[in-house]
Amino acid sequence: MALKNFIPLAFLFLLSCGDASDDTASDSAVIDSTMRANMAQMDSVARAAKDTVFHTALPPVFEGDIIMEVYGADQPKLWGELMGGKYNHCGMIMMRPKDGMLCVVDVLDSVRLTELTSYVDRAEGGKLCVLRLKNANATLNEEKVKALKASAKAYKGIPYDAVLNWDDSHMYPAELVWKIYNNAMMLTLCEKTKVDSFHISSDRQMEVGKLYGGAVSPRDEAISIDDIYNSPKLEIIYEK
């Protein structure tokens, strides 16, 4: 082949390679874009999964279930010190109306809703327990679940109680759960006891009173988380 004919052919070959490179780059960009879209979708699904009960590693739970945990916040630690027991915090599971999210009605600074996933994630060492009314399929119909929700809503925003008084002006976790059930269903989860049954020293009573205001009244009625945990009307469906 003459040199004069080789140069145009070589030039055409280079042009064709350039076109192939452009096509490859274009294909790569499409693939990359698709992968990014798929990854974004997977991230979205993962975030949505975190908002379901499956993220908690719990068995299926239902509105009205009672959930207990060991929690390291100041208030639960105080309640654990004053009342003893295996768990220092508890609440009742319900569905948040605005988005169908499973939450826990509980009380720290005040009575509020805590997302179930957050409630479970904060448990120290994953120490959790879920309890349910025995024969719940028969006893917790739709009407009674609505009554439980209404009872819980009535306590929304009530400040927490560090001195274990039984009136409704302040609330501590076991008291909240007990009263929600009692008001909604006339159901006594367990018998009430007295504050002095917890054997809180007089020095500790004075310390708590000065720190949080009010006074610990040893003869006042009371309920501990352990009392609810040992209720003959409840069954444990999960414990770790």
Instruction: Please state, in angstroms and as integers, the Cα–Cα distance from residue 118 to each residue in 115, 180, 210, following that order.
Output: 5, 22, 32
Q: Is 83's pLDDT higher than 70?
A: yes
Q: Is 163's pLDDT higher than 90?
A: yes
At 185-221, the pLDDT tens digits run 999 999 999 999 999 999 999 999 998 888 999 999 9
Q: Is 230's pLDDT higher than 50?
A: yes
Q: What tokens does 239 get?
A: 């414990």
Q: What is the mean pLDDT of the chain?
A: 82
* Cα 26 from chain centre: 47
Q: Crossing angle, helix 173-185 and helix 74-83, to 10 degrees?
A: 80
Residue 56: pLDDT band with limits 50, 70, 90: low
Per-residue pLDDT at 25: 47
Per-residue pLDDT at 111: 97
What is the C-alpha separation between 79 and 15, in angstroms, rounded?
A: 79
Whether 134 and 233 have beta carbons less than 8 Å apart is answered as yes
